[in-house]
Structure 1
């Protein structure tokens, strides 16, 4: 079913770059937090709730695009909420965007530092402090984001090509020695259900690419067909990779094997080390490390780009060298400090991000689209599904917030 009707527009950059940005933004967090976060609910419920999360996050991204299309070129979250929502909701949305974006950039600095340290130690015998590794990771990739969106597009596209190759080799090696009996039979799913609720906010973050939508609208000069293709195929590619990754991780490590991973903090290096130990051969170790480094780097670039553009719009900084330098300092210094002082906060950061992300990635897009339909001129792009689709996204948002609060209070398994 088509989500969009568009008029003929001038030639724009290929949607392939946007697909790569959406996929790359998603899979960094999802890939290496997902097996740890779903190890208690196990495979059946993980697949079901991942698909539900994908649909709701995909729908909310389309609502955000619909609203964004009705504003002038280059407008971001803050300007849209200022025009369409009450001041209190605008402030709440702005705080949630900043909180989630900063905490995810911090999470990727933590995960990237973990992987950089693990790779240097296992590959070259260099033992580097994780705080130093996190700092190096953030500085190198932060320079790319500060340069331009096109630089992120090209760098992400190149790394995703490497990810496809290393992921394919790693998955083939892992599944060749997999024990599929470790996947619990469907009859036992009822016993696992209580462990599912606390993980749902984190599953939502697996598709947390919404901060990139205004950037893509700007990049494609409001060509909605290109942006829709980027969202749809980028998020579906991420979902497919998640399902294959879960299958490989669960059938190689086993449910009991995740106990030691969690005991080590659940960071990326601990999971990769467990997969290397359960598998065999130097090829698997090298490909896993390359894939993990590519994944966290592309995810960092995607989320950092969205935060960078949001702050540019919020602070009204220009696109000159001086303006971008100021934006870069505001974007990267706070999470870099966190990455240096608290290098192992990866899993905890992902969980808290889901709570706040429900505001700007679920509630706000629906509210913006609803208000835009009432108060702004009609455009060629309109999300299908009517009020029922909007309601389904809002119900999911309420569930995410409720489950996270109950989990923080210790009331969920």
Structure 2
């Protein structure tokens, strides 16, 4: 294996891991805190299996069409243009909402990091533009350049993650009795958030050409790249659980149920009045957010090339696609932040459609209804595919129930 192939495999693994490990990682223990720790680890493991199989389904259907084809071409090819438009609309709206949230979150992190008093509209406007401006250049140069930028931020993410976990270990007194709380209903309500925490498979069509359409490389990248976030999440949950159960009952209640953002209050508690640790947490959160933003923006960038049938060799086309990737999220994050935030509340349901239901049903349709003849990547088992579809619909309805009734 030569250096170029090895380098691209490593970069693709970090793309998948970085896209999965988002800044919302701090909020995961808050959502799952009422569940026994071993149930939490089991949920993460089974969701990882489901999302890995769904990602392999996405890979298989992506390889049905040659070249730099994306989810829109796959939808048009299998279901026709009307269904393709619906899937494409959901895809764009979903990724736009994520990018908008990342812009809002990233600009706020920069303001906090540099201790800037930013209350005016113009301050918010320029902070958003300042944060997002480098990404125009990063995405413009495509997956190759984005790969190396992503590696840097992923290294920062892992270094700060290790530092924080070691810092937590030094102050904890682990007691297995602390992990015996269990609320079965929370096991179900945590599923949408955990599913979106493995939301990397929309990146797969963009990685297809980057890895020379090599099935063996792509399968390895998907499995290994998604296994890293699984380990990161499980250890993080364990350490944060231990930390929360080692603080006083008063602080515990204030963190979970008091006024304000629980994740932000958790960061302050972990910092323990240490400015240095608070800076480490800020770099950790910012690196996770940037790494996720690169993966999401890159997916949308190549989606527009495919949807608009544009040539990759034109600088004007590249500028145009970068512009439409970021223009709408920037406008909404500045002027209408609640618009995309409203849609983001449905992220779990939409993720279930795009990340599980769509690839698995499309695979089923191509195999058993259209009778395509090709080399299978995901094993030929209708029972397993049925379970994956049930899993997708379960998460979809749980998220809707959580939005409207809880």
Please tell me the TM-score bracket, short chain as reference: 0.7 to 0.9
Listed one character per residue, the Cα deviations across residues 45-89 of structure 1 (whole Å, up to 9, x for unaligned) are 432222222111111110010111121111110101111124443
Q: How far off its partner does 1:334 sit?
A: 1.4
8 A contact 2:18–2:154 mirrored in 1:
yes
Identify the residue that residue 203 of structure 2 maps to in structure 1.
212
CA distance in 2, matches of 1:338, 1:38: 30
Q: How far off its partner does 1:107 sit?
A: 2.1
CA distance in 2, matches of 1:90, 1:227: 25
- CA distance 1:291–1:185, change in 2 (3 Å): closer
Q: How far off its partner does 1:239 sit?
A: 0.9
Q: How far off its partner does 1:219 sit?
A: 1.1
8 A contact 2:23–2:285 mirrored in 1:
no
2:233 is equivalent to residue 249 of structure 1: no
Identify the residue that residue 333 of structure 1 maps to in structure 2.
327
- CA distance 1:12–1:209, change in 2 (3 Å): same
CA distance in 1, matches of 2:93, 2:49: 24
8 A contact 2:345–2:403 mirrored in 1:
no
2:61 is equivalent to residue 67 of structure 1: yes
2:98 is equivalent to residue 104 of structure 1: yes
1:113-152 map, 5 Å: 113-121=107-115, 126-129=116-119, 131=124, 132-152=126-146
1:193-342 map, 5 Å: 193-254=184-245, 255-259=252-256, 263-266=259-262, 269-277=264-272, 281-319=274-312, 320-341=314-335
Identify the residue that residue 6 of structure 1 maps to in structure 2.
none
Q: How far off its partner does 1:111 sit?
A: 2.2
Q: How far off its partner does 1:11 sit?
A: 5.3
Listed one character per residue, the Cα deviations across residues 95-124 of structure 1 (whole Å, up to 9, x for unaligned) are 221122111112222221232222111xxx
Instruction: Work out the number of aligned pairs and report it.
Output: 391
8 A contact 2:22–2:292 mirrored in 1:
yes
Of the candidates 20, 24, 32, which is equivalent to residue 18 of structure 2?
A: 24
In terms of mean alpha carbon deviation, does 195-204 or 163-172 score higher?
195-204
- CA distance 1:155–1:396, change in 2 (3 Å): same
Listed one character per residue, the Cα deviations across residues 15-45 of structure 1 (whole Å, up to 9, x for unaligned) are 1111000000000145233123323446344
Of the candidates 155, 162, 165, which is equivalent to residue 161 of structure 1?
A: 155
Of the candidates 392, 395, 400, which is equivalent to residue 405 of structure 1?
A: 400
Q: How far off its partner does 1:264 sit?
A: 2.0
CA distance in 2, matches of 1:98, 1:179: 46
Q: Which runs of 5+ in 1 are unaligned?
A: 1-9
- CA distance 1:403–1:326, change in 2 (3 Å): same
CA distance in 1, matches of 2:43, 2:8: 32
Q: How far off its partner does 1:194 sit?
A: 1.7
CA distance in 2, matches of 1:340, 1:56: 36
Identify the residue that residue 5 of structure 1 maps to in structure 2.
none
8 A contact 1:253–1:274 mirrored in 2:
no
8 A contact 2:301–2:321 mirrored in 1:
yes
Q: How far off its partner does 1:284 sit?
A: 2.3
Normalising by structure 2, report the TM-score.
0.87
Q: How far off its partner does 1:341 sit?
A: 3.6
Q: How far off its partner does 1:181 sit?
A: 4.5
CA distance in 2, matches of 1:376, 1:147: 39
- CA distance 1:137–1:376, change in 2 (3 Å): farther
CA distance in 1, matches of 2:379, 2:253: 44
CA distance in 1, matches of 2:279, 2:56: 38
Task: Give the 3-state SS of the residue equivalent to 2:225 in structure 1.
Answer: helix
CA distance in 1, matches of 2:21, 2:135: 17
Note the aligned Cα RMSD (angstroms).
Answer: 2.7
8 A contact 1:362–1:394 mirrored in 2:
yes
Q: How far off its partner does 1:350 sit?
A: 5.2
- CA distance 1:154–1:117, change in 2 (3 Å): same
